[in-house]
Structure 1
């Protein structure tokens, strides 16, 4: 059994819900799996599957990885966190992320400007709601509670409220998804964990420096650095042949480097660029945006796949896992099927 906690990242749905996942999670829970995480883009949401799947398990931590902040007001998100924490008996982890301008402005119709400042305000309000110490008030640049009487369209009847539901815990763990250096440091400063994208063990020292920078700015003693969760989604594909296993991951990398974000603002591509693959991802993005998705996938080198994924025979996958065990990671989230998770748990 690895020293890392092993979870499953189910992601967001494509055309329909995944099949057989309840049984797979029950089996994985019995084998020692730590957690299950969900995501959302502009289809399935991150909270509902956790409620359904979580009701069929008893020990798994249930995390949103991630819930998009633009999708809900901070108080609405806190309500969902309170509800799921009750229903799961205190197993919920709130993973939040800013997403990107294409989704935030295109899908939610919200401005994307100053995402770090907006995140600070959002987390502050969520913590106020869950703590339930007093009626929630906030006077920020992005959120004002209650809405001032002189605000456009306001009636002036707004009242400071606190949730009717008493929390299971005074704090629900908050994990921030972050890829850029400033965002990573922010997660260490204000959150209980960081969810990384395209984590490569080779750059672990840089990640540790950014986390240390954030820890040094903490204004409270809410949690110690040694209790901070660092999670990363790692594609895991078990095949007899490394190249065939890498072929499963290549389209995923091509999608994120080429199509998940505007050409001028693709944070996933930027993460891969920082690993030294700028020329590769430029070509992948060019091919993808031209509609040549299969060519874009073929342009992803096996070297890059092996940097951010675990691929190949089961024995190789388990041996390669040691590279992640020696990093700042505390939780490795398997992106793959139940057999992939079993290979690591075994």
Structure 2
């Protein structure tokens, strides 16, 4: 199992941090849409000799043409190591934060993926660009705007998904699935893998499953307790989102979601974290020493995912512990 680590560093230090992570045995780094741009750190890290990936970039506010150009350039700059991971977000953020359009998210994401792939294919295979989808139409590509074939081939286009319809669609049209980190083993096996199977419908085409895991890790009991306290905040934030309620319902915790949602609207963030008990932390994260975390990750994803993205939110983890985790995942 290949291991990717969140590229959590000031922008100017992105290349240095990616090089340090490579020295720890890490295969790749990923970014997500947070307080900073999702692509800029990967541009700086592209020559560090690690795989680079957005996990995820929001598709709806961006034109497929913009995404295709960025993907082409990062794939070339990294020597063929880039994966374009796309996500949908939720309506409130798309409309009120990005000022963009939200409707029919599964079909809109399908159209975005197909459009990006059509543009990349037109460049790579020297085809006439003639994509006509429900939401996007791309029918003009003059020579001065055509970068031509990428010497490293076409970068994979992946979709981040949680719900069954989005997951099934990803298996139908994308190169891979980015499993959302707010997940339990039961939800993943009963809902996610079943939706992937429906989407592939017996096809043997290459399809990559990449899991993202929230990790609460430390070398001492004190460190582990500190990490577990830190991840509760993120779990409470995820759990307050209505679209994530199915994960809680699978475990019998569905009624917690509206309670968390109400507290979030009131800005009572500390109280939200207090509602996330140890059972939830155990089910939704990998927690413990590096060896224990690795065992939990392998048990949950080892028979189905090719890579795992490890995410350490809200706390610092020692580089030696990261190295131990990577080594344990490869045993």
**Same fold at TM > 0.5:** yes
CA distance change for structure 1 residues 205 and 268 in 2, over 3 Å: closer, same or farther? closer
CA distance change for structure 1 residues 102 and 277 in 2, over 3 Å: closer, same or farther? same
Instruction: Select 1:112's aligned residue among 93, 102, 118.
Output: 102
**SS of 1:267's equivalent?**
helix
Contact 2:213 2:286 in 1 (8 A): no
Q: Kindly state the Cα deviation for residue 119 of structure 1 after the two structures are TM-superposed.
A: 1.6
Q: Counterpart in 1 of 2:325?
A: 344
CA deviation map 1:289-308 (0-9, x unaligned): 22211111011011111112
Q: Counterpart in 2 of 1:149?
A: none
Contact 1:334 1:341 in 2 (8 A): no
Q: Kindly state the Cα deviation for residue 343 of structure 1 after the two structures are TM-superposed.
A: 3.0
Instruction: Select 1:311's aligned residue among 278, 287, 292.
Output: 287
CA distance change for structure 1 residues 248 and 142 in 2, over 3 Å: closer, same or farther? same
Q: Kindly state the Cα deviation for residue 322 of structure 1 after the two structures are TM-superposed.
A: 3.5
Distance (whole Å) between structure 2 residues aligned to residue 342 and residue 298 of structure 1:
31
Contact 2:115 2:138 in 1 (8 A): no
Q: Counterpart in 2 of 1:331?
A: 307
Q: Counterpart in 2 of 1:196?
A: 179
Q: Kindly state the Cα deviation for residue 84 of structure 1 after the two structures are TM-superposed.
A: 0.7
Q: Counterpart in 2 of 1:215?
A: 200
Q: Does 1:46 align with 2:38?
A: yes
Q: Counterpart in 2 of 1:152?
A: none
Q: Does 1:28 align with 2:4?
A: no
Distance (whole Å) between structure 1 residues aligned to residue 11 and residue 323 of structure 2:
18
Which runs of no fewer than 5 residues in structure 2 stay unpaired?
none
Q: Does 1:142 align with 2:135?
A: yes
**SS of 1:112's equivalent?**
coil
CA distance change for structure 1 residues 187 and 203 in 2, over 3 Å: closer, same or farther? same
Q: Kindly state the Cα deviation for residue 169 of structure 1 after the two structures are TM-superposed.
A: 3.7
- Please report the TM-score for the alignment, with normalisation by the length of structure 1: 0.82
Contact 1:180 1:271 in 2 (8 A): no
Distance (whole Å) between structure 1 residues aligned to residue 276 and residue 52 of structure 2:
32
Distance (whole Å) between structure 1 residues aligned to residue 167 and residue 77 of structure 2:
31
Q: Counterpart in 2 of 1:78?
A: 68
Q: Does 1:240 align with 2:220?
A: yes
CA distance change for structure 1 residues 277 and 138 in 2, over 3 Å: closer, same or farther? same
Q: Counterpart in 1 of 2:238?
A: 256
CA distance change for structure 1 residues 235 and 18 in 2, over 3 Å: closer, same or farther? farther
Q: Counterpart in 2 of 1:277?
A: 253
**SS of 2:167's equivalent?**
helix
Distance (whole Å) between structure 2 residues aligned to residue 324 and residue 168 of structure 1:
36
CA distance change for structure 1 residues 28 and 118 in 2, over 3 Å: closer, same or farther? same
Contact 2:30 2:55 in 1 (8 A): yes
Q: Counterpart in 2 of 1:7?
A: 4
Count of matched residue positions in the alignment of Structure 1 and Structure 2: 313
Which runs of no fewer than 5 residues in structure 1 stay unpaired?
147-158
Q: Does 1:128 align with 2:118?
A: yes
- Please report the TM-score for the alignment, with normalisation by the length of structure 2: 0.85
**SS of 2:3's equivalent?**
strand
